[in-house]
C-alpha cells in the first residue's frame, strides 16, 4: 500500500512545466476520473465536476485567461509579469478545471431545509478535498501542478467555449506537466486528530453528458458506490 504521507509531501506547487508527460493522456483522464469518484462529500451529494483539457483546448483556456486579464490590467509593464505567468501555465501538458454543480446544492437545500444554509459550505469542503486528491494523484504519476483561481473573471467565456452547463460554477484551474524546475522543499507540519472510521452507502445513479465541442477535453462527474474508509489528519 502506498504511503499517503509521502505522497502528500511529494505534492508541491510546481510552476515551471513543460508540455511533456511521463504517462499517456488516457491514464491522466482515468486518474482524475477515479479520484473524482472516490472523494467523499456531505450527504453523499457528489457535487464536484472535473474537466481535463489537452492540446488546443488547453491553449484556448489560457488564451482566454490572457485576453480577459488584458482587459482589466491597463498598465503595459504590469501586464508583462501577468502574461509571463500565464504563458508558464500554458506551457504545461494540460489543465484540470474544477467545478461545483450548484443544482446539486439547490436540490439538497430543498430536500433538507434544516441544513439549507450549510450546503454551500459542504460543497466547498468537497471541492477542496477533490483538488488536493487530484493534485496528489498527479504528483504520484510524475506530473507537477499548481492551483490557480482566475475565476470568476473567466467563467462566462470558458463555459461558452467548452459548452459547459450553466449550473457548473468554476472553482479552480490546475495546470500540470513535467516539472522543468522543481519547487523548494515542503514544510512538514503535522496535526494529529483521532482516527475517524465511517461507512457510506451511495445510491447508484447514471449520468449522461453532451459530446464536448472540442477535441482534447474529458468531462466526468462523481458517481456513487458503497465503501468503507478511515481518515486521519497528519
**pLDDT tens-digit map of 146-193:** 999 999 999 999 999 999 999 999 999 999 999 988 876 543 333 333
Percent composition of the chain: helix, strand, coil (DSSP 3-state, to 5): 45, 25, 35
**Per-residue confidence at 206, pLDDT binned at 50, 70, 90?**
very low
Do the Cβ atoms of 98 and 131 come closer than 8 Å? yes
**Per-residue confidence at 58, pLDDT binned at 50, 70, 90?**
very high
**Per-residue confidence at 62, pLDDT binned at 50, 70, 90?**
very high
**Per-residue confidence at 7, pLDDT binned at 50, 70, 90?**
confident
- Provide the CATH number for the domain formed by 4-231 in this structure: 3.40.109.10
Rounded to an integer, the average pLDDT of 204-212 is 43
Give the pLDDT score at 74. Answer: 86
Per-residue HEC secondary structure of 20-68 comes to CCCCCHHHHHHHHHHHHHHCCCHHHCCCEEEEEEEHHHHHHHHHHHHHH
Give the pLDDT score at 225. Answer: 36
Give the pLDDT score at 184. Answer: 66
Each residue of 149-159: b (16+ CB within 10 Å) or e?
A: ebbebbbebbb
- Of 220, 214, 218, the closest CA to residue 63 belongs to 214
Give the pLDDT score at 27. Answer: 96
- Of 33, 25, 8, 18, the closest CA to residue 209 belongs to 33
* Pairing label, strands 226-231, 144-145: unpaired
Angle between helices 76-90 and 55-72 (to 10 degrees): 160
216, pLDDT greater than 70: no
Do the Cβ atoms of 48 and 105 come closer than 8 Å? no
64, pLDDT greater than 70: yes
State percent of the chain over pLDDT 90.
Answer: 67
Higher pLDDT, 80 or 202: 80
Give the pLDDT score at 199. Answer: 35
- 58: which 3 cell numbers? 488547453
Do the Cβ atoms of 140 and 2 come closer than 8 Å? yes
> Mind listing the pLDDT tens digit for each residue in 42-52?
998 999 999 99
- 151: which 3 cell numbers? 475565476
57, pLDDT greater than 70: yes
Give the pLDDT score at 215. Answer: 58
pTM over 0.85: no
- 19: which 3 cell numbers? 508540455
Give the pLDDT score at 212. Answer: 54
- Residue ranges of domains in the chain: 4-231
224, pLDDT greater than 70: no
Rounded to an integer, the average pLDDT of 205-234 is 44
Angle between helices 119-140 and 25-38 (to 10 degrees): 140
**Per-residue confidence at 55, pLDDT binned at 50, 70, 90?**
very high
Amino acid at each position: 500500500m502506498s504511503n499517503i504521507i509521502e505522497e502528500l509531501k511529494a505534492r508541491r506547487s510546481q510552476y515551471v512545466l513543460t508540455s511533456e508527460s511521463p504517462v499517456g493522456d488516457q491514464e491522466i483522464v482515468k486518474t482524475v476520473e477515479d479520484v473524482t469518484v472516490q472523494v467523499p462529500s456531505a450527504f453523499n451529494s457528489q457535487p464536484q465536476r472535473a474537466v481535463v483539457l489537452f492540446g488546443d483546448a488547453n491553449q484556448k483556456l489560457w488564451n482566454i485567461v490572457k485576453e480577459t486579464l488584458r482587459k482589466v490590467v491597463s498598465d503595459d509593464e504590469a501586464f508583462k509579469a501577468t502574461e509571463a505567468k500565464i504563458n508558464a501555465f500554458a506551457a504545461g501538458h494540460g489543465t484540470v478545471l474544477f467545478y461545483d454543480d450548484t443544482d446539486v446544492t439547490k436540490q439538497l437545500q430543498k430536500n433538507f431545509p434544516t441544513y439549507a444554509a450549510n450546503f454551500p459550505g459542504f460543497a466547498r469542503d468537497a471541492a477542496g478535498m477533490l483538488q488536493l486528491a487530484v493534485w496528489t494523484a498527479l504528483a504520484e504519476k510524475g506530473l507537477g501542478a499548481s492551483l490557480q483561481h482566475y475565476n470568476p473573471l473567466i467563467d462566462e467565456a470558458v463555459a461558452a467555449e467548452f459548452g459547459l452547463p450553466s449550473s457548473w460554477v468554476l472553482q479552480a484551474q490546475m495546470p500540470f506537466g513535467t516539472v522543468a524546475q522543481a519547487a523548494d522543499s515542503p514544510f512538514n507540519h503535522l496535526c494529529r486528530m483521532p482516527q475517524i472510521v465511517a461507512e457510506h452507502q451511495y445510491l447508484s445513479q447514471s449520468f449522461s453528458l453532451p459530446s464536448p465541442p472540442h477535441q482534447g477535453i474529458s468531462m466526468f462527474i462523481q458517481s456513487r458506490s458503497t465503501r468503507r474508509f478511515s481518515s486521519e489528519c497528519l
